[in-house]
Amino acid sequence: MENRELLTLNSGDLAMPYEWSVGLYGSRFFQEIREKRRFLGIRCPKCQKVLVPPRRICGPCFQKLDELVELSDQGTIKAFSVVNYPFIDPATGKQRPIPYTYGYINLDGSDNIFSHLINEIDESKIKVGMKVKAVFKDPADMEGNIQDIRYFEIVSK
């Protein structure tokens, strides 16, 4: 063995509670979902693209954004992944049961991709171009975060 000192090891659990601000438009986005079950996007005054979730700046144009627009709760699957690898869900701190499907969804009325779960795990039943609709938690259970959207369900082929 090489000439190394034996290190002392301590093991145990460490609580690291924290709060993270989602910002002005992020707050509006989650409030709108919690209170009205509706998505908000934001339109860029230069390129006219509607981005969801809303943010302060259009990345490609560097324009300040302030025109919030209502969006549909439906969209189109642009890509998806059926995930079979277990890992700790950062939103819950618990292992997410596998398999599950992560979808890249273009919400109607927007120009970018919104990522969320799709409630279909049989990849032979999912196709790019299918329409999906958001399924929200019961109003009494809404917390004002991304998990207020339970998943997107496929509504047409």
The residue ranges that bind Zn ion (CB under 5 A) are: 44, 46-47, 58, 61
Task: Tell me the closest approach of the beta carbon of residue 48 to Zn ion, in angstroms.
Answer: 7
Smaller CB distance to Zn ion: residue 60 or 139? 60
Task: Tell me the closest approach of the beta carbon of residue 110 to Zn ion, in angstroms.
Answer: 13
Within 13 A of 105's CA, how many CA atoms are on the CB side? 30
Smaller CB distance to Zn ion: residue 47 or 98? 47
Smaller CB distance to Zn ion: residue 49 or 137? 49
DSSP string for residues in 108-157: TT-SS-EEEEES---GGG--TT-EEEEEEPPGGG--SSGGGEEEEEEEE-
Task: Tell me the closest approach of the beta carbon of residue 61 to Zn ion, in angstroms.
Answer: 3
How many angstroms separate the CA atoms of 127 and 1, rounded? 56
